[in-house]
């Protein structure tokens, strides 16, 4: 089958289309004929050699797909050949076919096209597991989302609003501010033009944010702790701004704050299955009711994977970038 393969680690020049063996399903897996695959920042890191797949996972890049089931393992129940689906992967998405453990496969939400469904698994699993299962965001609380115009950010804004939270977000341009406001954010802050932590304090009357979803890591650690509310929860899911920072424990303790660092890719199949079961139960009805939607910025054919990666590196997208097959 066709797949994206990397000739070593490095820039987009290492990406090329090659031929690799078709996957065969284990007894607890299905094989999906891929229609579309999501492009994530983790994919860029893997291409650069900084984020290898877990043991046993395919070496091919790609953490989420949509498509149709073409083979079903002997012990799999509830799925049949021909079923349309989307799936969360540990790797292997940039290919014509991928084998996936059955608990990591989800139906396509009612009313959503199959290509757009590829924009959901990684994004919704990340947002739901961190903001709701881990940080327990409640109606009436304030949610601060960094990088609100990204795939994760745009979904976090929508789900926060849908659950009755007040949402603040940081972005890097006026266009992105307007985009996030249209999604329901109460306050959008251009971090290039304003001290975002000061704006958060002003917007919350010095109360701070109850939940902060952070993709930056070290660069934002000090200001995140300054911005946390009493009993607030800072959830760090990325390190775009570095891995090591100075922590003001006095400020954190005075606010009774919590800092939680999480990841999705290296969780067990069972744990991923639990997350996705909650996603289907809680988020899919919101998508069917058109209260929440995946935001697809653009699609590229598989052969233009380098352009897809370049788009993400330039951070010009509003929402998700997809590959189509």
Over residues 43-96, the pLDDT tens digits come to 999 999 999 999 999 999 999 999 999 999 999 999 999 999 999 999 999 999
118-148 residue pLDDT tens: 999 999 999 999 999 999 999 999 999 999 9
Question: What does the pLDDT read at residue 290?
Answer: 96
% of residues, the chain, pLDDT over 90: 98
d(CA 325, CA 36): 6
**pLDDT, position 235:** 98
Instruction: Kindly state which CATH superfamily the domain 2-121+265-324 is placed in.
Output: Medium-chain alcohol dehydrogenases, catalytic domain (3.90.180.10)
In angstroms, the CA 110 to CA 199 distance is 39
The 3-class SS string of the chain reads CEEEEECCCCCHHHEEEEECCCCCCCCCEEEEEEEEEEECHHHHHHHHCCCCCCCCCCCCCCCEEEEEEEEECCCCCCCCCCCEEEEECCCCCCECEEEEEHHHEEECCCCCCHHHHCCCHHHHHHHHHHHHHHCCCCCCCEEEEECCCEHHHHHHHHHHHHCCCEEEEEECCHHHHHHHHHHCCCEEEECCCCCHHHHHHHHCCCCCEEEEEECCCHHHHHHHHHCEEEEEEEEECCCCCCCCCCCCHHHHHHCCCEEEECCCCCCCHHHHHHHHHHHHHHCHHHHHCCCCCCCEEEEEEHHHHHHHHHHHHHCCCCEEEEEEC
Q: What is the pLDDT of residue 303?
A: 97
What does the pLDDT read at residue 273? 98
Section 194-210 average pLDDT: 97
8 Å CB contact between 158 and 120: no
pTM: 0.96
Give residues with Cβ within 8 angstroms of 71, minimum separation 6: 24, 25, 30, 31, 81
- Structure confidence by residue, pLDDT tens digits, 239-288: 999 999 999 999 999 999 999 999 999 999 999 999 999 999 999 999 99
pLDDT at position 237: 96
Q: What does the pLDDT read at residue 246?
A: 92
Condensed to tens digits (0 to 9), the pLDDT of residues 84-127 reads 999 999 999 999 999 999 999 999 999 999 999 999 999 999 99
Q: Do domains 2-121+265-324 and 135-261 have the same CATH topology?
A: no
Domain definitions of the chain by residue range: 2-121+265-324, 135-261
Average pLDDT value for residue range 309-322 = 95
Note every long-range contact of 7-10, with CB atoms under 8 Å and residues 24 or more positions apart, other chains counting: 9/47, 9/48, 9/49, 10/47, 10/48, 10/49
Q: What CATH topology corresponds to 135-261?
A: Rossmann fold (3.40.50)
Q: What is the pLDDT of residue 308?
A: 98
Report the pLDDT averaged over residues 5-19.
Answer: 96
Instruction: Tell me what pLDDT residue 108 has.
Output: 98
- Confidence (pLDDT) at 277: 98
pLDDT confidence band for 192 (50 / 70 / 90): very high
């Amino acid at each position: 089958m066709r797949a994206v393969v990397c000739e070593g680690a490095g820039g987009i020049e290492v990406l090329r289309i090659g031929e690799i063996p078709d996957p065969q399903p284990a007894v607890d897996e299905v094989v999906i004929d891929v229609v579309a695959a999501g492009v994530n920042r983790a994919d860029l890191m893997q291409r650069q050699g900084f984020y290898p797949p877990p043991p046993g996972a395919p070496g091919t890049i790609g953490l989420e797909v949509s498509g149709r089931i073409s083979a079903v393992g002997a012990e799999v129940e509830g799925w049949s050949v021909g079923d349309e689906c989307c799936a969360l992967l540990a790797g292997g998405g940039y290919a014509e076919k991928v084998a996936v453990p059955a608990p990591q496969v989800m139906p396509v939400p009612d009313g959503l096209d199959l290509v757009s469904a590829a924009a959901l698994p990684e994004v919704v699993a990340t947002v739901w597991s961190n903001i709701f299962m881990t940080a327990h965001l409640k109606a009436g609380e304030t949610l601060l989302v960094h990088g609100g115009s990204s795939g994760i950010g745009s979904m976090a804004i929508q789900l926060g609003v849908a659950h009755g939270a007040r949402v603040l977000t940081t972005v890097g341009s006026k266009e992105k501010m307007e985009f996030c406001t249209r999604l329901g954010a109460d306050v959008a802050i251009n971090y290039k033009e304003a001290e975002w932590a000061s704006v958060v304090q002003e917007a919350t009357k010095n109360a701070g944010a109850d939940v902060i979803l952070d993709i930056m890591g070290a660069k934002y650690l000090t200001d995140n702790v300054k911005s946390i509310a009493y009993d607030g929860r800072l959830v760090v899911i990325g390190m775009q701004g570095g891995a090591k920072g100075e922590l003001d424990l006095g400020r954190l303790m005075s606010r009774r704050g919590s800092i939680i660092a999480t990841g999705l890719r290296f969780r067990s199949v069972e744990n991923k299955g639990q997350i996705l079961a909650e996603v289907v139960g809680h988020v899919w009805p919101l998508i069917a009711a058109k209260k929440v939607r995946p935001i697809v910025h653009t699609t590229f054919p598989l052969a233009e994977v380098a352009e897809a990666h370049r788009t993400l590196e330039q951070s010009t997208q509003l929402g998700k970038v997809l590959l189509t097959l």
